[in-house]
Amino acid sequence: MSSEAEPITRIGIPGERLLERASAVGQRVVAQPRRLGWRRRLVVAISITDAAVVLSALLVAQLLRFQTNGFRASTPQSDLAYLTLTAAIAVGWLVALSATRSRLLRNIGTGLVEYQRVVNATFLTFGTLAAVAFLFQIDIARGYLAVAFPLGLVLLLLGRVAWRGALHSMRRVGRCTTGAIIVGRPDDVARVAGELRRKYRVGYRPIGATYAGTSRSAKRDEIDLPAIEFKDLAATSKRTRTRAVIVAGDLPGGNATIRRLGWDLENANTELILVSRLTDVAGPRIHLRPINGLPMVHVDLPQYSGFAHALKRVFDVVVAGGILLLLLPLIAGIAMTVRLTSVGPVLFRQERVGVGGSRFTMLKFRSMVIDAEARLAELQSRNESDGVLFKLKDDPRITPIGRTLRRYSLDELPQLWNVLIGDMSLVGPRPPLPAEVDRYEEDVNRRLLTKPGITGLWQVSGRSNLTWDESVKIDLYYVENWSLTGDIVILLKTARAVVGSHGAY
């Protein structure tokens, strides 16, 4: 902790002349617009999309249940009753989406909280409906609910994914971002500014910095941000309509300094954000519990068994079985193509390491020549991986049809069988080879605390373009922070990544 006497200082540019001097030295604090119209427009657009999705799902459910194949299975009276029920459910559903704060701006565009709240609102709506129907003996057709509930949930999530994609596209070119002034020591400012610039999807754009401490630091010269002295911070924030002040790490004076900064920013329509020193911990695992002025941060420890994991298993079996049945013609076509275009078996079997270090045989459509394993040694010198994996973008062992299968991850479809029999999960860390596990460092073994997956965060974060360290970090993050809602989101993102074939070879 810093000394109480250590001040928060400036780098010679008073707040009153900040805009002019920053421009003269090639830096500038970007003044924010008087009204951040994009915020309101985004929330309104998502609200309209939610309403359209909810109404569409409920009306489709009514149509499929009562008027299919030209056969009218209802009377005008029942049609009117179900239209009234549809309107009531729609209103309740939309109210639940608002009540769970699923459209809270700081949750839109990044993380899983937005999707989790959409799921919670949906379960709340239909749970309340079930309770009301039971208490008042209301007979509701199960077929109607069986269509409305899953269809509405999937469409709501797809709508949020679509808007998130649009928002990311705009943020990629600098639009729809919130200007932020970062307060802290030079090292902390540099770390936070670098992360915000790399992770533009979060939506905060560094536009200025206030440095803590009197000592000079080489980091100050590396940070391409105009400096603002602490006493001018609130005034500068108001004048430039900066909407966020980010406190990075500890400040001289401790909590008293942060409290005074909060007072100075009152009525400024500015967010005050404290960057936590907790790393690789997802938001849902962090809980703030203020007790008599003492803010206590609770961190839930990861769990690797129990009801949530049993529910994950049920989800895996249902979804994998459904996908297998749906794609059976495609799977048969791929099998025939592999058989006719190259010598060797249709399926490639390889021993992999599963949960807890167990061994299992993973199935894939064969995408390489039959003697691929024997030829691996002669290619080791061309390995493009920086870790224990072997990666070669132009691997000569890959067959022509295999290259297409790999590009769209079609070679992995037989792994749905591995999911059904319990060796793998739909979502999880990448299934490693025994030789890779033998070279793991101690921390990396935590990847084996859960079942490997057909897809995972590694699949939607760059696939083969990831470095070894990046792959490990992503897998460990998933192992400790997984949730069923997160798995659903990863599956949706996987579909997009597969279609784009980014990083696949």
**For 230-258, what is the HEC assignment?**
HHHHHHHHHHCCCCEEEEECCCCCCHHHH
Tens-digit pLDDT profile for residues 170-226: 999 888 988 899 998 888 888 888 888 888 888 898 988 888 765 555 555 567 788
Cross-sheet strand order for the sheet of 8-9: 8-9, 204-212, 178-184, 244-248, 271-275
> Residue 263: what pLDDT?
84
Pick the closest to residue 346 from 329, 327, 332, 330 (CA basis). 332
DSSP-assigned beta bridge partners for residue 202: none
What is the rounded CA–CA span in Å between residue 301 and residue 281? 10
**Parts of the chain with a pLDDT under 50:** 1-34, 69-73, 505
Structure tokens at 293: 């002025």
Q: Look at the block and give the residue holding tokens 């070679």.
A: 411
Quick: pLDDT tens for 429-441.
Answer: 989 999 889 888 8
210 in helix, strand or coil?
strand
Whole-Å CA distances, 269 to 103, 167, 237: 19, 22, 10
Alpha-carbon separation of residue 161 from 49, 79, 400, 456 (angstroms): 12, 33, 34, 17
**Site of tokens 């390491």:** 353
How confident is the model at residue 67, as a pLDDT?
64
Can you point out the beta strands (E) in 119-190?
178-184
Greatest extent of the chain over all pairs of C-alpha atoms, in Å: 82
Which of 284, 230, 67, 53 has the alpha carbon at shortest distance from 152? 53
pLDDT digits (tens, 9 = 90+) for 285-328: 776 666 666 667 767 777 788 888 999 999 999 999 999 999 99
Which positions ≥6 away from 335 have C-beta within 8 Å? 346, 365
User: DSSP H helical segments within 327-399, as ranges?
Assistant: 328-341, 376-379
Contact 472, 276 (CB under 8 A): no
What totals of helices (H) and strands (E) does the chain contain, helices first?
17, 13
Residue 227 pairs in a beta bridge with: 209
Q: Alpha-carbon distance 413 to 411, whole Å?
A: 6
Q: What is the pLDDT of residue 159?
A: 94
Burial class (CB in 10 A: 0-12, 13-18, 19+), 390: middle
